[in-house]
């Protein structure tokens, strides 16, 4: 993903909204807290993150990606989900050779026609292009936070699914080729999510997605998740319900203030598929697109914070059904 514009968009401190929220937070702190949902285990999710990183880079169309796909297929099949790959070819950005891309669809409660989409990208960027020294920009990029963190969160969430009875059906979607690119000005982002979104419009499935959540960079040791700009523009009720859930269960890493605007997989889902989708992302990660995006700069606690919010949110989903 990348920032919408150069620089960051920051909420003004002391704005009326921030002040009102501050008061609200104090009042809530005095109220009895809702019991934490059992289940989501950050340490187990972190072990998943390490296992994915141990594969090495998972660049679209490579052996590393194929190994990860097999790992996920085995994992979710064993947990009782229906798994399917959505396959398509693109010209390789560098060579022009046809390259097979695969989104992985993991379906829970397949009989339900109104559904929630939980997604992440599972490819890693081909190069750590933000390395300070140009000669280091062709060394391997592991993508512990940018790539593996969303995958690990969904792997552990998968272990919770049999205990949940959400109001809507749930699909996990692993998007290929979020950043299958060597040159930002020449190559395109979001190949997997764009294909998914176009397919949803051109060959409509029997089900409809009523809301979506994309998880990206959710394992930063110093986790702070702010509202992301496009999420508020396209899917404010979804965003507010997630942050409200975090408040309710006392997860302080979710801060109900708008900060960055990030172009990510939620854009094709909103703009093409018209699925109201938010991006849960901590875009203040000092190791972004560098060789230091490794497990040591991620934490089990951060994964658990996000996982607990997702479990609680799925357990008590608001009514997202379109008005008829
Ligand atoms: Zn990235």
Measure 2 CA to ligand 1 centroid, in angstroms.
7
Measure 214 CA to ligand 1 centroid, in angstroms.
14
Measure 24 CA to ligand 1 centroid, in angstroms.
34
Q: How many domains does the chain have?
A: 1
Measure 67 CA to ligand 1 centroid, in angstroms.
20
The domain spanning residue 111 has which CATH number?
3.40.630.10
Strand 82-91 relative to strand 98-108: parallel, antiparallel, unpaired?
A: antiparallel
pLDDT at site 100: 98
Question: Which regions of the chain are under pLDDT 50?
Answer: 6-37
For residue 147, the 8-state DSSP code is I
**Which pTM was predicted?**
0.89
pLDDT at site 230: 98
Alpha carbon distance 221, 145 (integer Å): 10
For residue 269, give the 3-state DSSP assignment: helix
- Position 323 in a domain: no
Measure 262 CA to ligand 1 centroid, in angstroms.
11
Measure 168 CA to ligand 1 centroid, in angstroms.
30
Q: Which domain holds residue 180?
A: 39-315
Query: What does the pLDDT look like over 66-93, one tens digit per residue?
Result: 999 999 999 999 999 999 999 999 999 9
- Position 10 in a domain: no
Query: What does the pLDDT look like over 265-309, one tens digit per residue?
Result: 999 999 999 999 999 999 999 999 999 999 999 999 999 999 999
- Position 192 in a domain: yes
Q: Which residues of 276-310 are buried (b: 16+ CB within 10 A; e: fewer)?
A: bbbbbbbbbbebbbbebbbbebbbbebbbbbbbbb
Measure 223 CA to ligand 1 centroid, in angstroms.
17
Measure 288 CA to ligand 1 centroid, in angstroms.
7
Measure 125 CA to ligand 1 centroid, in angstroms.
6
Share of the chain above pLDDT 70, in %: 89
- Position 31 in a domain: no
Measure 28 CA to ligand 1 centroid, in angstroms.
35
Measure 287 CA to ligand 1 centroid, in angstroms.
10
- Position 261 in a domain: yes
- Position 268 in a domain: yes
- Position 12 in a domain: no
- Position 21 in a domain: no
């Amino acid at each position: 993903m990348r920032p919408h514009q150069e620089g960051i968009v920051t909420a003004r401190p002391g704005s009326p909204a921030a002040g009102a929220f501050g008061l609200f937070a104090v009042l809530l702190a005095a109220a009895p807290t809702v019991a934490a949902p059992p289940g989501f285990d950050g340490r187990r999710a972190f072990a998943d993150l390490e296992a994915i990183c141990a594969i090495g880079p998972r660049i679209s169309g490579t052996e590393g990606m194929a190994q990860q796909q097999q790992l996920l297929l085995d994992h979710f099949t064993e947990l009782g989900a229906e798994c399917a790959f959505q396959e398509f070819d693109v010209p390789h950005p560098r060579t022009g050779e046809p390259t097979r891309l695969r989104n992985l669809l993991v379906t829970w409660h397949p009989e339900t026609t109104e559904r929630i989409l939980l997604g992440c990208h599972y490819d890693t960027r081909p190069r750590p292009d933000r390395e300070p020294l140009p000669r280091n920009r062709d060394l391997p990029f592991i993508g512990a936070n940018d790539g593996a963190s969303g995958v690990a969160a969904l792997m552990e969430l998968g272990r919770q699914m049999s205990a949940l009875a959400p109001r809507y059906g749930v699909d996990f979607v692993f998007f290929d080729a979020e950043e299958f690119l060597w040159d930002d000005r020449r190559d395109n982002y979001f190949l997997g999510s764009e294909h998914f979104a176009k397919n949803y419009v051109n060959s409509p499935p029997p089900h409809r997605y009523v809301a979506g959540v994309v998880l990206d960079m959710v394992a930063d040791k110093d986790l702070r998740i702010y509202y992301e700009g496009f999420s508020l523009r396209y899917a404010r009720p979804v965003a507010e319900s997630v942050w409200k859930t975090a408040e309710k269960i006392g997860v302080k890493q979710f801060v109900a203030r708008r900060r960055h605007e990030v172009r990510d997989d939620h854009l094709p889902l909103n703009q093409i598929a018209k699925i109201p989708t938010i991006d849960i992302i901590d875009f203040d990660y000092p190791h972004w697109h560098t060789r230091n995006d490794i497990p040591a700069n991620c934490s089990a606690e951060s994964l658990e914070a996000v996982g607990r919010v997702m479990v609680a949110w799925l357990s008590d989903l608001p009514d997202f059904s379109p008005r008829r």
